[in-house]
Amino acid sequence: RPCLQWIVLFGFFVVAVQSQPIPKLTSVSPEWIQRGTTSVVTLEGENLSEVTGFIFSGEGGLTATNAPPPAYSANLESSRGGIVPGEDDERKLRVSVTVAPEAPLGARELRAVTATGVSEPVIVNVDFLSQITEREPNNDTNHAQLVELPVAINGVIRESAESDFFRFKAQKAQRLIFDVYAFRSGSPLDSSLALLDADGKELVRSEDVNGLDSLIDFTVPHDGEYFLQIRDFRYQGAKDFKYRIVAGELPCLDGIFPLGGQRGKSVEVSLRGRNLDALSKMKLKVEPTAPMGQQEIRARTAKGYSNPVLFDVGGLAEFTETEPNNALTNANAVTLPVVINGRINGEKDVDQFKFKVEKEQTFIFEVEASRFGSPLDAVLYLTDAKGKVIQQNDDTVGADARIEQRFSEAGEYVIRIRDLLERNGEDFAYRLVVRPPKPDFTVSFFPDTPRLYRDSYTVVGVEVQRQAGFDGAVEARLENVPAGVTAEPLLVPPDSTVSPMIVLHASEVAPLGRHLIKLAASGVIDGQRVNHEGRPEANGRAVREAFLTVLDKPPFTLEPVTLSARTEQDQSTAVEVAVRRFEGFLGEIQVTAEGFSSGKEPLTRNVELKPVTVRATDGRATLNLKAKLDSETGTRLILFKGEAKAEGQTVVQYSRAIPLTVDPFPFTLANSLPRLAITALPPDRKSAASEAEFSVKANRRGWFTDDIRLKVEGVPEGIVINSTNITRGASEAAYRIVASDKAPAGKEVSLTIIGSADVNGRSYQFRAPPLKVTINAPASENGSDQAAEKTASAK
């Protein structure tokens, strides 16, 4: 008895541990932290009371621990100990974050960890400035919050018509920058920023400099105190109207040129901005191992760092335009492939570049401007050597244009670029990338935080994005999975439209805890094997890392009894799954099936199914899967999913995968008309008004060519319709319908054409959409049958 009691108690203990909730993060405040400091931030989300650790992804230099509760001005003390002040809100958690003095500036992903899982990430940013959070009340000059420049101010316009005021001291001749980040950070705030003197007189106001974000460049006229005011331009406000103001005598970059450089080469970059200490040019060396693509660069002076701007690292040869090149006669000559760096700078400026191609060569001409923050709204023209336009494009990717052209003839051609609205300026920079199409692929996988119980299964979805005609197979495999966990490698065939799944299984001795996992993918392109690292996704958003959590034995498991399933479009099949319960768990379990259709579309896009409730006395569940008439055909993997409540928390379990095959329905039918009208007339009244014609069309699928037998359902008395079939190889059959005076005049009836055929010993039946037939009453005897005939003809 004691042994049995211990086993039952242990069973309840296992259920309690495994049903602990998974941590979820929705936000962090503040989002910016000064390097070389320790700051307390507040995480918001769900199930945060059991958090025991934190993970940072990205550049290093950050650590975090749980912060103690805030100090209260008054406290309570217990007589026997063991009772201490605490926060009872599981939706908030105070965290102490330490940033090393040498930590690189920029964003990091922060996740919370418990014994039962890893949260999705939130973003924290490392800055060099002191960080201030606005404190209410600060809504007028009398209550303005005192700040010391330079500083980064983080605040929220919470209510309509609210303004936040800040007070600071400045010295004569200082050139101060006040740069708002709201619109650029996804905030709905449309900022209006103003500087006021000590008497409250407005000196300058700014709106819509960087998108909807304000920017003030202010030279201090005399020593003294000044006020900074921020509000929404529309006088709106809400808890998500967040802003960040970078304020002080700081360097500020308006732009750089060129916007990028070639890997392994040096490039001289010109700088435009304020407080740059006469720094107008800088030579950059792009290392051969520099990461390809965009990255942030900053100017650094004795006063600090500037705002970041984007710089592109490419692999092609670079060319910088030279003026004049506005006409065909002075177009710059370039050799393809190439990246052309240019600016639309000057009234009605147009940049033209001439090049030569061989017959049947294909090239892509792609403008990269708006993605770097350039205001250029590019229009591209591809012309022959005489200026005849072959193709033009505007706004393929945002405001960036793109042309792809296969050249049927060798020779010289010209690519021309201008701004759509004929605007211009030093900041209208662009990169025009000219390259042949390069077949390639990328791979993503999800979720980024899978959880796997011992002696059980879970699944990771994989999506392959094919580029430039790549049609080869892709192999994908999870790496870094711990001992005792198996994840079979996956082969995605060339014609697959379904997102495949990697099914993971943990043995009874798999090591518990979290494990960093990666996905490796490979394919063959032009005879060479190409390897790519898969990109993890959290709720459709790309993230840096993925973590597998292995948990102890669950309260129940699922095991398929049906090892494979097969059905046809518009048909059903039954599948069975066994449920195994462990000591102490008697709760109801909702069982369903999961899988993918095209891309990330769920299984239910193609298959109709209803969950089944498994009660404590049941050991099995039977699911009815019906493939929709337009279901994608072929074979895909599906899993059984069980969901139950244990100790007030949701526990989810998966079975191993089984194949589900959907075969095409041999044919479908459609009427040539959705409705028609006839008139009920005696047989001796010869009139076209009592007759009508329509046809039934068959859509044969796959290899099916046999006869389709037809019958009509719903024919009332007084209506005569001929019998017919769709013969072998034919695609339609004609019907003639005649109404007599016994037909139900003044009513609408529905006729349904039913087609049937025998295929491989099975009988298939399809019902066409109903045909609506309006039966008109006969006209009067005064000879107005012509009107009825016109009505029938019109219908």
* Radius of gyration, alpha carbons of the chain: 35
**pLDDT, position 74:** 75
Domain 131-250 - what CATH class? mainly beta
Residue 647 burial (10 A CB sphere; 0-12, 13-18, 19+): middle
The fold of the 18-70+88-127 domain, in CATH, is Immunoglobulin-like (2.60.40)
Question: Residues 533-555: what's their mean pLDDT?
Answer: 95
- Among 6-10, 170-174, 309-313, 453-457, name the one with the lowest average pLDDT: 6-10
Other residues' Cβ atoms within 10 Å of the Cβ of residue 521? 23
Given a cut of 50, whether residue 12 has pLDDT beyond it is no
Pairwise pLDDT comparison (500 vs 8), residue with the higher score: 500
**Residue 408 per-residue DSSP state:** S
Show the tokens assigned to 226.
């000044």
Q: Please state the pTM of the whole predicted model.
A: 0.81
| Cβ neighbours, 10 Å, residue 101 | 8
Task: Please choose, from the candidates 445, 514, 440, the residue with its C-alpha nearest in 3D space to the C-alpha of residue 474.
Answer: 440
Tokens of 428: 């209208």
Sheet holding 351-357, edge to edge: 332-333, 351-357, 411-419, 378-384, 389-394
Q: Is residue 790 scored above 50 in pLDDT?
A: no
Interval 678-695: pLDDT, tens? 999 998 888 899 999 999
Distance CA(158)–CA(171), nearest Å, equals: 32
Whether CATH 2.60.120.380 fits 318-435:
yes
User: At 497, is the pLDDT very low, low, confident or very high (cuts 50, 70, 90)?
Assistant: low
Which residues sit opposite 66 in a β-bridge?
Answer: 95
CA distance 417 to 707: 60
Q: Is 249 exposed, middle or buried (0-12, 13-18, 19+ CB in 10 A)?
A: middle
Nearest to 571 by CA among 658, 636, 629: 629
Say if residue 88's pLDDT is above 70.
no
Mean pLDDT confidence for 670-676: 95
Phi and psi of 330, rounded to 5°?
-125, 25
The CA angle 192-198-204, to the nearest 5 degrees, is: 30
Mean pLDDT for the stretch of residues 466-492: 94
- Report helix, strand or coil for 732: strand
pLDDT digits (tens, 9 = 90+) for 642-671: 999 988 788 999 999 999 999 889 999 999
Q: Order the strands of the 607-608 sheet from edge to edge.
A: 556-560, 572-581, 620-627, 607-608
Residue 598, pLDDT score: 67
Q: How many CB atoms lie within 10 A of CB 433?
A: 19
Mean pLDDT of the chain: 92
Give, in order, the Cα–Cα distances in Å from 245 to each of 200, 229, 448: 20, 11, 33
> Domain spans of the chain?
18-70+88-127, 131-250, 253-314, 318-435, 440-551, 556-663, 667-794
| Superfamily (CATH) of domain 440-551 | Immunoglobulins (2.60.40.10)
pLDDT at 1 over 70: no
pLDDT at 86: 62
Percent of the chain at pLDDT exceeding 70: 94
Tell me how far apart the alpha carbons of residues 344 and 417 are, in angstroms, rounded to a whole number.
8
Of 47, 59, 58, give the one whose Cα is nearest residue 21.
Answer: 47
Q: Is the pLDDT of residue 784 over 60?
A: no
In tens, the pLDDT along 709-735 reads: 999 999 999 999 999 999 999 999 999
> How is domain 667-794 classified at the architecture level of CATH?
Sandwich (2.60)
Neighbour-count burial of 128, counting CB atoms closer than 10 A to its CB (0-12 exposed, 13-18 middle, 19+ buried)? middle
pLDDT of 519-540, one tens digit each? Answer: 999 999 999 999 999 999 999 8
Q: Identify the CATH assignment for 556-663 out of 3.40.50.1000, 3.40.50.170, 3.90.1170.30, 2.60.40.10.
A: 2.60.40.10
| CB proximity list for 682: less than 8 A, separation 6 or greater | 740, 741, 778
Which contacts of 629-634 are long-range, i.e. CB under 8 A and separated by 24 or more positions?
Answer: 629/569, 629/570, 629/665, 629/668, 630/569, 630/606, 631/569, 631/606, 631/607, 631/662, 632/497, 632/498, 632/597, 632/598, 632/606, 632/662, 633/569, 633/662, 633/663, 633/664, 634/498, 634/661, 634/662
Which range, of 69-73, 347-351, 741-745, averages the lowest pLDDT? 69-73
The predicted-structure confidence for 141-186, as pLDDT tens digits, reads as follows: 999 999 999 999 999 999 999 999 999 999 999 999 999 999 999 9
Q: What is the pLDDT of residues 112-129, one digit of tens each?
A: 999 999 999 999 999 999
Residue 686: its pLDDT value, please? 81
- The confidence score (pLDDT) of residue 3 equals 41
Indicate if 667-794 has the same CATH topology as 131-250. no
Determine the pLDDT at residue 779: 72
